[in-house]
Amino acid sequence: MVEFFNQMSKYGHEQVVFCHDKTSGLKAVIAIHNTILGPSLGGLRMWPYKNESEAVEDALRLSKGMTYKNAAAGLNIGGGKAVIIGDSKKDKSEALFRAFGQFVDSLGGRYITAEDVGTCVEDMEMIKLETDYVSGLPEKEGGGGDPSPYTAQGTFEGIKIAVKHRLKRDDLKGVKVAVQGLGHVGYYLCKYLSKKGAELIVCDIDEDRVKKIVKKYNATAVGINDIYGVNCDVFAPCALGAVINDETIDTLTCSIVAGASNNQLLDEIKHGEILKKKNILYAPDYIINSGGVINVYYEAINQYNKDKVSKKVDKIYNTLDEIFKSSKEANITTNEAAAKLSEDRINNISGIHNFYRKNK
């Protein structure tokens, strides 16, 4: 128990909820990191974690990332995340998601859930039967539907500005992009990149996905362990996190790391510094992949409009431009510059709250 509270202290969490329902087999963790800017918002991940400790660690890391992501995107919402321990291909059921929805509802709006790795809009529909604190619903129910296209759109914008900074180019024609992971986001990202003439190198654990992208976009397929060392300009991680680690970082030959997956650096400080020393420009993951949360945010506050969402997502280009410039001017890593941007906004709003509390 002491170790658990040390973990919470390390990441700065407000609340962590363990959820168990015997009937449905639900085992879940809801992590609320910070609610200074508003109720916490973050997706629900379903993954066959090796053990409960691994699930807790993932929920803690991901929810902190959501706080920084939401703050940097200029959203009036805090950071949270939930994980369900299970195999999304065989363990899903109506009872499972309705049980999870009851736990979400019991928090009274402190946490708003949405889809993430292993969950989809249909799962959100089942959660909706038990709580209103859910976003990412199908368009037929007035929701924004699958947020993946917007995550890919923002990642595409991030790659463009990264290419401009590092390669001094305003176009992507002939730029070699290695896309790791061809799920919904990876698929849409390949679509955007191919349309602008980028050369695609791809990998995925699902061979059918690889074959589809190779055929449709004339991509080159490589093995899942070979993607790191391929000759490319941009490495775009779009699968799970911690792919930039002690084993992989020395094999990178790219000039840019800019992808959609969360928590790409196993150790933000250590591996951020190594990328900087290797002169590899890193687009902080929670900045470049914030298109999806922007989409579900506008749905959550009942102001959903596709044009409004798209225009907000396009601004990821400008946010990263500011971060890259700040990083260069202050001679700090890009993830340090991104963290400062997020923390400054959180601290400023916190200061306003404290001022008005004292002067009531």
Q: Which residues are part of the catalytic machinery?
A: 81
> DSSP state, 147?
-
121's CB contacts (< 8 A; 6+ apart) are: 115, 136, 137, 138, 143, 145, 146
Instruction: Note whether 136 and 150 are within 8 A (CB).
Output: no
Q: Give, in order, the Cα–Cα distances in Å from 331 to each of 192, 321, 323, 324, 335.
A: 32, 15, 12, 10, 12
Are residues 56 and 28 in contact, defined by beta-carbon separation less than 8 angstroms? no
Q: Which long-range contacts (CB under 8 A, 24 or more apart) does 108-111 make?
A: 109/39, 109/133, 110/15, 110/32, 110/35, 110/39, 110/40, 110/80, 111/30, 111/32, 111/39, 111/40, 111/41, 111/42, 111/80, 111/82
The C-alpha atoms of residue 70 and residue 355 are separated, in whole angstroms, by 23
Structure tokens that stand for 13 in this block: 């969490």
Measured distance CA(92)–CA(26) in Å, rounded: 10
The token duo for 41 is 């918002």
Cβ–Cβ under 8 Å, residues 346 and 70: no
Dihedral-angle region of residue 3 (phi above 0 means left; psi in -120 to 50 means alpha; beta otherwise): alpha
Residues pairing with 29 in the sheet = 18, 83
Distance CA 40, CA 125 (A): 20
What six digits make up the tokens of 349? 């709003």
